[in-house]
Structure 1
């Protein structure tokens, strides 16, 4: 039995065979709306986490803020993906999938280095009540966004949207881990929890980036775009289902 930490995969009923352009456009608008909501939240979350983390010298909180910035970029990518003629473009979907996957890899090196530095030097972060409040908010909000995006991704056959949803679910887990670290430091003086959580952030980010790059679980072989997109578009199977 595998004991590896895995993010839950949100599944939905497969899209109806008679998916129409109008239905696809409706789902695309919902995806864009969710991505705009994510972008607004991530902007606030990132600014607060980076500010509070710097003030408290908290590696985990700073890493969480960087994760928010990266997730915000992923939201911008999805908004771009479902704007204008790109809505029905397989090429745009494939580019977006790659861009979203690389967001995971941008986070890991900095957080891993700073976490190891903190563990080796014993540098202790200050208590951050603002960070604790932010983590609680993310634990509540992020799963809702993640579930909604992954279900929509299944319906439109979009691995890029699925990747963004998995980033949101990752954010929820990391917020929970961050909360444990911040409370452990505040209540028990367990300063080592902060850099340990930072290492967890780095590890999970690398693995999720790898899975997103491979398109694992994307389901894009059943993408409605194969029927709706112009015939000159490249087949999704060549990019995702190899």
Structure 2
């Protein structure tokens, strides 16, 4: 098993790794709640953008699990584990895209109109505040640790914030103007496309920013 070079295994690096693991756990707890409530409300009102956003929470949760795995035990100092974690985060980006793309196209073709949800609006608004903070912290730690897996998880948080803004706007527009129903599947297609792109960048290791 290849290990991180000695110069990078100082006390500060170990502390940063601990913070990366702690933030991943915190993210995982939030994503579980976000995903559960998001799916509940999305299926209740028939909003594909909200369902896609909630499924994205599951994917982000998987990325958090991968980072926890990466920085636990002997894997903390393993370059091999870092590469595996990086690839795992990349794959997690791709898991969401097919379902969201298919459902978005179906809703555009059938004209399915989602309902409104106050809980969905509140949930996406909360994520819009929290996710950029988590993303900023994780990308800083990714640079300090030279960990593309950690930086990739942070990018997923930024992507979640962007999705939250789009879904929040969509839900608000639909609540005020039912004729804007088409925004819901359109935003779903954008979410699917961005997820595919970010997956390729993470796979190639372009996500570290360090």
- What is the TM-score when the length of structure 2 is the normalising length? 0.94
Q: Aligned pair count?
A: 204
1:199 maps to 2:189: yes
Per the TM alignment, residue 20 of structure 1 is displaced from its structure 2 partner at its CA by 4.4
Pairing partner for 2:150 from 157, 161, 183: 161
Q: Which runs of 5+ in 2 are unaligned?
A: 1-5
Distance 1:73 1:216 in 2: 20
Structure-2 residue corresponding to 1:127: 116
Contact 1:78 1:160 in 2 (8 A): yes
- Aligned mates of 1:99, 1:18 — CA distance in 2: 26
Inter-partner Cα distance in structure 2 for 1:20 and 1:73: 26
- Displacement, 1:64? 0.6
Superposed, 1:58-97 pairs within 5 Å as: 58-97=47-86
Distance 1:144 1:218 in 2: 17
**Is the Cα–Cα contact under 8 Å of residues 50 and 61 in structure 1 kept in the other structure?**
yes
Partner of 2:3: none
Unaligned ranges ≥5, structure 1: 1-16, 221-242
Distance in 2, matches of 1:215 and 1:153, equals 12
Give the match's secondary structure for 2:56: helix
Contact 2:89 2:202 in 1 (8 A): yes
| Counterpart Cα distance in 2 of 1:148 and 1:218 | 13
Runs of 4+ in 1 over 3 A off after TM superposition: 17-20
Structure whose residues are more often helix by fraction: 2
Partner of 2:87: 98
**2:19 pairs with 1:30:** yes
Equivalent residue, structure 2, for 1:149: 138
User: Structure 1 217/72 Cα, relative in aligned 2: closer, same or farther at 3 Å?
Assistant: closer
Larger Rg: 1
Tell me, in whole angstroms, the C-alpha distance in 1 between the residues paired with 2:38 and 2:188.
14
Q: Which residue of 2 aligns with 1:230?
A: none
Residues 14-49 of structure 1 show CA distances to partners (whole Å, capped at 9, x for unaligned) of xxx954432211110000111111001000000000
Retained in 1: the 8 A contact 2:151–2:209? no
* Distance change (3 Å), C-alpha of 1:69 and 1:180: same
